Amino acid sequence: MSRSKKTRKSNENAPKLAPRTKKKERVLSGKKQVAGNKAGSRHNASMIESQANGGKAKSADPRHGSKKPVQLHINTETKVEKKPKGPKLTDEQKLLKLEEDPRLNGLLDMLEEGKNLNSEDQKWLDKQLNQIEALMEKLGITDEEDDEPQSRKAISDDDLFDKFESGADLLKDYQHKD
């Protein structure tokens, strides 16, 4: 099928264009409505208000932001002062501190008397006891060891002397290595 170009001529059935009118006969619908304020209105608004107030001008300019002064440099004195940390506690000191805690002792006494603790106190008590147990394991202290010396038989003086002498021999060997 061959291509046929479109023509600009219209048929009898095509829509008709409105007849042209002369410029003189045309009537303008009116001026367009202007949106917004006139140019320079923000500058003139203060003058209009000052005239309306009897010559008293506004002290604050609404076009500017906060008048609060901004600090341009950082004062090192106003920074939060850190508390000086003391020397680190050893494990023995931590253990003694935990065992001497009055709250812990009070709660343990309440448990021995058969009183029930509220959930918050029970959680705190469990946490403290776990810390104490961990420190005791770290230091090598257990409740079983406290019971063992009573059940052990006394070691003879000869055995203790032999141990001492063997330790002295090891010390001499160590010193002569250098």
Residue 150: pLDDT band by 50, 70, 90 thresholds? very low
Among 114, 91, 89, 117, residue whose Cα is nearest residue 103: 117
DSSP assigned state of 10: -
- State percent of the chain over pLDDT 70: 75
For 6-27, what is each residue's pLDDT tens digit? 877 777 888 788 888 888 887 7
- Compute the distance between CA of residue 130 and CA of residue 121 in angstroms, rounded to an integer: 14
- Which of the two residues, 42 and 14, has the higher pLDDT score? 14
**Residue 91 C-alpha from the chain's centroid:** 31
Q: How far apart are CA 114 and CA 112, in angstroms?
A: 5
More confident residue, 64 or 156: 156
Whole-number Å distance between alpha carbons of 34 and 29: 15
